[in-house]
Structure 1
Amino acid sequence: MTDVIEAILQRSSEPRLSAPAPSADELARLFECAFRAPDHALLRPWRYLIIEGEGLHALGELYARTGDSEEARDKLRKMPLRAPMVIVGITSPKPHPKVPQIEQSMSTAVGMGYLLLALNEAGYGGMWRTGALAYDSQVKSGLGLAEHESIAGFLYVGSVSSEKPAVPRPIMSELVSSWPAKP
């Protein structure tokens, strides 16, 4: 197998992350990978925010504004502290007659996937999270998103602090078929 195929087969989502996170120099190289995502018409319909240090506490406070009880707000405040770095992937679509917004969103998602692969290959772990916070107008506004932008996800990033059990892999015959069907 090639190194790329092996990296893809070994990739996993890692929920238990600790310091260190990638350095600025490492991030520059990792983002080069994200920027290689398929991008119809070279629109670059994405941007990223890197949140670490005190920014994680500020993100927790932003999350907490969405809670409907003190217990929920406390839980939301702690969420960004699950990792030493959170990278927010943002779809920033550009008007184009041949490239619909959905293609631009998919380009952002592929870039996020490439970033996860690159993080794993560089010796770090990551966990892509979305959920209600990714769609919340207060969160989007608090992060400085324009009206036309959306959050593709929050990548929680750091060093893997403990291994998790292996995830069962899908069986190809259950998910892949030929078309038209062969007799």
Structure 2
Amino acid sequence: MMAPKEALDLLREGNRAFLNDQGVIPALDRDTRLRLAAGQSPFAAYVSCSDSRVPPELLFGRGLGELFIVRNAGNTLDTAALGSLEFAVSVLGVPLIVVMGHEACGAVQAAVSVVHDKARFAGNIGKMIQPIIPAVLEADLSCETGIEPAVRQNVRRVVRELREDSSPIFLEPQAHGKLMVVGAYYRLTSGEVDFFDLAGK
């Protein structure tokens, strides 16, 4: 089984290649598909935004069967997200969970507008952004920084929940060094992923 740091190093290496326009072309051939049909063993689980500009496989040059991805607007945790991650850790044995926010996140922008402009959203959009509002309230926002502090704080809150306030499925492997949970921020303009919330820092 891959160690958590090895998994993180693989992602960093893949993003460096992406930044240098040297993206890896993953195996998509029939033999690979047949092998994966028998079972999967991804090396990382990813909580990412649904934003169409933020596809984790492409940002890290990864292919079929390598990343177990949970995506929703604002990269938050609900029952489906937590259950999916629990499956990734307890059944698939992933050693790494990455929670990644991104530049110009529409869900975080909507939460900011609720807090600062008392905006209201129809349907389930309001319910969807509700978990992001505490991060907006905690963030130090200014005209210069835009929503970036709120995006990063939202990532920190999700990471903290997975590190400290979750089920034993997450806490026990972290205590034994078999699982690491990290936070990241993706810059749309540069393509760079900043792993800014690392365990122990």
The one of the two structures with greater contact order (alpha-carbon pairs below 8 A, sep at least 6) is: 1
Whose Rg is larger? Answer: 1
In the superposition, the TM-score normalised over structure 1's length comes to: 0.28
In the superposition, the TM-score normalised over structure 2's length comes to: 0.26
